[in-house]
Amino acid sequence: MLTMTAWTGDSYLCAREIFEALGDEFKLRVWLVQVKDAGMQPGAEALEHLDRENAIPYHQLLAMLHPGVQIVDGELVGLTTENSDRIVLRAVDGSHWDLETKDDRVLELAEDRFPAWKKAG
């Protein structure tokens, strides 16, 4: 698992930026979304009302992840049709992101794109 602060000074690293930076590894998956709190930005409420049981495609989720939307508490779980390793992107208290997967390619890509990711534990 990797962890990273969501804030650099006054700048918040939003989920959309992570999704775009990790590109193909995220695009190939459908997503289960459970957002308990997404702040007050436009578009945040739609994330809070998604049904955790219904997976949505990457492009639909990306359209909902408006720039600047702060996910305070939530989990986005990416699954493939082959049920290979899942990706879990977790927002914790709006202060940091956790990224969990057994897929080393995803972890390496995350560390390459965001040097602030650190191995947890």
Render pLDDT for 56-97 as a digit per residue (tens, 0 to 9): 999 999 999 988 889 999 999 999 877 678 999 999 999 999
Identify the pLDDT of residue 83. Answer: 65
Task: Give me the number of domains the chain comprises.
Answer: 1
- The whole domain housing 90 covers 2-119
Nearest C-alpha neighbor of 35 from the set 87, 71, 7, 80: 71
Taking the model in full, what pTM does it have? 0.93
Q: Give me the sign of the Cα torsion angle 66, 61, 5, 94.
A: positive
Identify the pLDDT of residue 42. Answer: 80
**Location of structure tokens 């997404």:** 38
- Is 48 in contact with 71 (CB distance < 8 Å)? no
